[in-house]
Structures are given as structure tokens and as C-alpha cells.
Structure 1
Amino acid sequence: MAQKEFRKFSSYKIQLYLGILDVACIFFNSILSGYWSKSGEIFCTHQKSSYIIGCIATALWAGTCATCMILGFNRIIEILFPKLSVKLFRGCRTYFWLAIPTVYMIYFAFFTNPLLFSSTSYAMFFDPYVNIDRFQIPVGTPKHENISHTINNILVIAVILIAYLCLCLIMLLKNHIDHDTNDMSYIQKQTFIQVTIICFFKMSAAAIYVYMQFFYTPDWLVITGQITWQTSHGVVGLIYLFLNTNMRDAVYTKIFKCWKPTTQTKPTFIRATNSKY
């Protein structure tokens, strides 16, 4: 996505930024969390490092959520109002939009309570003493919570669901108006597959993590929430590789010099429109 042929499209610029955040977050919520699960670490054993890592992981999650919402907005504007899209996202203007999730991450990193990993539940909680029966919280102690995180997750569920349902509806309407059944059916097929995968894991992680911060949650659901969080950052790369013809050809061409591109066949959903900005 960092190649010039992709960076001329605003949607790929946003996806590149999102990819950087995804890869960074995977280190904290997958690799490091896996190591701590095996070694049995809790907040009390590594308070400073656990707190700092929690701040970074929480900020990266918030940043990916904000970037996904901007990407959904970008796609809808691109399809419905191409001229307006050029005015909003042309050239370096896309980078100004990316300043929003950057500031959003700074806010979550420095001004909100972080998620803290606990090997007792194999997931991250705002309460550092979750499932530690021997620890008694003194009466009157403020609860460990993050209202901003709760609002963020609820907003993500609503915005992503509405945005991508709108995209699917737009594709259906375009099919009906243009009467281009064969080509549009292919695009629709790719659209629904990619939308379903991306939205399912992102919204599932957001919903489960909000629920388990406030209510009793069985271990299997907690672990499911952690896995969906991990998958929401890792599955997007696989979607690009297997369902995005342009991206797959670019990767294969880099690895196999004799690879013959197939991008001239049919476009996929992730591919940007023909307007070059």
C-alpha cells in the first residue's frame, strides 16, 4: 500500500495508516499478551510496564476504530458524491483527516484509564484486580473504568454497521439503475464477503469488551472477546491478500518476478474508484 500506484488513491492512504496501527496493536494484544498468559503475569507483578503497555494498547484500539469510521465515510462520499470527495480527500488533504485518529489516540493514551492485562482471565480489563479472590478492594475506592472507551465502542458498533450497510445498499441500487448485472454482481459478492468479515470481528470485539467491563462474563466469552480483538487487527491483511486483486498482484509481483497481474479483470470492493487523488 506504500507504493506510489496505491498512494494516489485516498482510500489506500487511509488503509495504509490503519495497517500500521493494526500491526502495532497485534504486538501488544497478541504476542505480549500470549507471553504474559503463559508466564502468569498480573498487574501487581509489573505495575509500571503493564500500565504503559495498557495505555499504548488502548490508544491503538481507539485509533483503529476512528480510522475505520473515517474509511467508511470516505467510501460512501466517494460513491455518492465524487466531486465532494475530491474536495475533501484530494492529495495531502487525506493526511489532515488522519490527524483525527492521531489526536484521538493521544487522548486515550494520556487522559483515560488504560486496559490492563490479567493472566487470570487471559484478557485486558480496566480493573487490575479482576478475578483475584484474595484481594479485597477497600470500601469507597473508586471503580476502575473508562467511560470514553465505552462510548467509543458503542459508537464504533453503530457507525460501522450503518456505514457498511449503506455501502451495500448503494451497490444494490447502482446495480438496479445501471442494469450491469454481471459486473455488479461480482462487486456485490466481494463487498458482502469483505464487509461481513471486517464488521463481524470489529463489532464483536467492541461489544464483548464493553460488556465484560461491567457485568459478570464467563471465561469462554472473555477469551472469545480477546480473540475477536486480535482477529479484528489481523484479518484485514488476509482480506487484502486474498480478496483484493490489485493488492494480491502487487504482493505476488514483488515475490515472484514472473507473475502476470490479473488486475485488469474485475475490480473488488476495497479497490478505490477511478478518480486519482
Structure 2
Amino acid sequence: MNNIIRYGSIVAIPLYNCSAHTPQEWSALNGVKRPIVGSLEMAYGMILNLMYIPMISVMLEKENFKMSCYKIMSFLTLIDIFALTVNSIITGFLSYQGAVYCTYPNLIYISGMMGLGLWCCSCIIAMSLIINRLLDLLLPSVGFFLFEGNRTFFVLTLPIIYGLYFVFFTTPIAFSSKYLTWFFDPLIFEGKTQEVQNTNLIEQNSMFQYSNFPHFFNNILVVAVTCCLYMLFCCALGAKLKNVDAGSTAQKASTQIFFQSAMICAVNQVASVIYVSMNFIEVPFWLIVLGHVLWELGHGAPAIIYMNFNKTIRNGVLRKLGDKKGTINQSTTQQSGKRTNVSTVI
């Protein structure tokens, strides 16, 4: 964003200058039309976003939203909806068209800024969520001080500021239908990186011209710390429930939380490492595609995980869809939750 302000427009940014060819010529030179993959990606994004709508409405219900964890989860769900719009719906459209950066420079540059900012924002929200759950379990007085009532909204300003930093001050990602993913290098100048390796690092055209080191920091440190916190939470919960009878409601809740944590961590961590690697070293095409698919899953998987493991959300959605069993199950879950004092929310 700062370069748009500096140069007055996207097309005027020197490192994103597409004047060498027309958009159609750029697509013909570097793009590959992928109608099947593009259609599948658009369908995936639309279906998951539709799934999220009743879920977020359940989270926003008065009984749930008064809990700090549901405030955080509802905000994370909103971020996931916007992120899926970029990494699945818009990406699917671009794949269908066989587009590269210079085919739709304005759309791709803005989408790249938003996609990067949303991913980094979601990483901090996920960290906030697990810290909230961990404090609730180990240090409830500290958790009360940080998250009680409207204080949760203050905490959520931190991931917003963090995400906006990536939008305004770091290199955006750019799409290539040839590789079915988004790179920091828009792949406009052939051999550009090799040409500038011998230049002075102080010069504008340095070998780091498209690099995004804050993103490297986010993917390696923030995501890794979040996963460690998830594992700590699972260990703490297991220790707290070690004397609970096997097969009890509390024991089942603990197992559900562990599986939710493990699945979310695995998807996000592998996607993070692949995205960092492919922007610095040459990796196989299948690994690039896997990295993008995991990015999509990172924002879409929570919808599936919540419906399978989170009874409050599942029963609430069924109730909104007119299923009477959902209403009965909702009451049963609430009573069970009071008896066991175990939250099935991660």
C-alpha cells in the first residue's frame, strides 16, 4: 500500500511494471488456463463461506458471545471468510482464466495485500484464542483481567494492527496460474533475481527486492509458538483430567480438544514452512500446490472441525436449520458442560 501512495497507482510501481506486453500477451506467455481446478477452488470457497454463516450466527448469540472465547472465534471466522474469498474464490477465478500478475495487476496486487494481511492477522488471533483458553485453565485470574467483558475487543485490536502492518508496509503476494499459487515475486522480469545478485545491496534493485522478511518471521515464529501453546494446553488439560473416569464426558471433551488442536496446528505449520521455502529456494511443483491447498485448508478446515467436534456450534447450527434434535442436544450439552466444567472450545 505504501508503494501505491508513493507512486500514485499500482501500474506506476517500477518493480510491478507490466508495460512490456498487453494483458492478453502476458497470459499467453506465462499463464496456463486451468478451468477444472479453478472451478473446484471457487466451489470450495463458496461452500465453506456458506457453512461459516450459520456458525458465526451461533457464536454471536447472547449466551455464547458473552464468553471471551466466542468473541475471538467469531472474529477469526470473519477473517477466514475474507481469506477464503481471496485464496479460493478469487484464486479460482484467476486459475480459470489462466491469469498471471500482469493480466489483472490491480486486482491481483490488492488481493495479494489483503490475502497476506488476513493470513498474518489470523495467526495472531489463533494465538490469542489459545492463550485465552490456556489462561482460563491455568491462571483464571489473569485470564479474567485480560479478557473479561469488552477487554477482549481491546486484545483483538492487536491482530488487526498486526495484519494492517503487512497490508501497508510489506511486499504483497502475486498470483501465477502456471504454478497455481501466490509468490512475492510477480514473475514479470525473467531472470531478474539472477541479474541483480551481483549488484550492491544498498541499491534499489537488490536481490531482496521482492523478499518479505516479516512474513518469514510470522510463519516460522508466530505459527510455531501457537502450535507449542496448543500442545501445552492439551497437556495441561490432560493433567487436570487425569483422575476423571475414562469414557466420561470430560474425558471425551479433552480428546476432542486434542484432535482439534493437532489438526489445526498440522495444517498451519506445514503450509507456513512450504510458503517460506518456495519463496527462497526452488521446490517441486507438487509441493507448491500442496502449500497453497494447505493455506486454503487453514482458513476452511475450522468450519469442518467445529461441525464435527464443537457440540455448541453443531447443535446451534442444527437448531437454526430447524432440526428439533439440535435444540434437545443444545440443552443436554449445556447441562453437561455445567457438570464437567470443561470447555470444548479451542
TM-score scaled by structure 1? 0.91
User: Does the 8 Å contact 1:116/1:128 carry over to 2?
Assistant: yes
Mapped partners of 2:280, 2:186: distance in 1 = 14
User: Does the 8 Å contact 2:72/2:156 carry over to 1?
Assistant: yes
Return 5+ residue gaps in structure 1 as ranges.
273-277
Q: CA deviation at 1:121?
A: 0.5
Give 2:41's aligned residue. none
User: Does the 8 Å contact 1:190/1:243 carry over to 2?
Assistant: yes
Mapped partners of 1:43, 1:57: distance in 2 = 15
Higher relative contact order (CA 8 A, sep 6+): 1
The runs of 4+ residues in structure 1 deviating greater than 2 Å are: 138-143, 178-185, 257-261, 263-272
User: Does the 8 Å contact 1:26/1:234 carry over to 2?
Assistant: yes
Alignment of 1:6 onto 2:64 = yes
Return 5+ residue gaps in structure 2 as ranges.
1-58, 200-204
Give 1:275's aligned residue. none
User: Does the 8 Å contact 1:72/1:160 carry over to 2?
Assistant: yes
Give 1:271's aligned residue. 345
The residue correspondences of 1:176-255 to structure 2 (distance < 5 A) are 176=242, 178-181=243-246, 182-255=248-321
What is the identity, as a one-letter code, of the residue corresponding to 1:148? Answer: P
Give CA deviations for 1:4-30 in whole Å, capped at 9, x if unaligned.
Answer: 111010001000000000010001001
Q: Which moved more, 1:45-54 or 1:85-94?
A: 45-54
State the percentage of identical aligned residues.
34
Q: CA deviation at 1:48?
A: 2.2
Name the SS of the counterpart of 2:328 in structure 1: coil
What is the identity, as a one-letter code, of the residue corresponding to 1:271? Answer: V
TM-score scaled by structure 2? 0.74
User: Does the 8 Å contact 1:156/1:203 carry over to 2?
Assistant: no
Give 1:128's aligned residue. 186
Q: CA deviation at 1:44?
A: 1.7
Q: CA deviation at 1:180?
A: 4.3
Alignment of 1:77 onto 2:135 = yes
Mapped partners of 1:82, 1:226: distance in 2 = 38
Name the SS of the counterpart of 1:214 in structure 2: coil
Mapped partners of 2:309, 2:130: distance in 1 = 18
Give 1:102's aligned residue. 160
Give CA deviations for 1:148-187 in whole Å, capped at 9, x if unaligned.
Answer: 00000012332122101101111221122x4444333212
- Cα RMSD of the aligned pairs, angstroms, is 1.8
Mapped partners of 1:128, 1:152: distance in 2 = 21
What is the identity, as a one-letter code, of the residue corresponding to 1:64? Answer: S
How many equivalent residue pairs? 268
Q: CA deviation at 1:2?
A: 1.1
Alignment of 1:261 onto 2:319 = no
User: Does the 8 Å contact 1:171/1:184 carry over to 2?
Assistant: no
Give 1:159's aligned residue. 225
Give CA deviations for 1:214-234 in whole Å, capped at 9, x if unaligned.
Answer: 111111000000000000101
Give CA deviations for 1:61-94 in whole Å, capped at 9, x if unaligned.
Answer: 0110010011111111010011221111110000
Mapped partners of 1:153, 1:270: distance in 2 = 27
User: Does the 8 Å contact 1:156/1:206 carry over to 2?
Assistant: no
Alignment of 1:16 onto 2:74 = yes
Q: CA deviation at 1:241?
A: 1.4
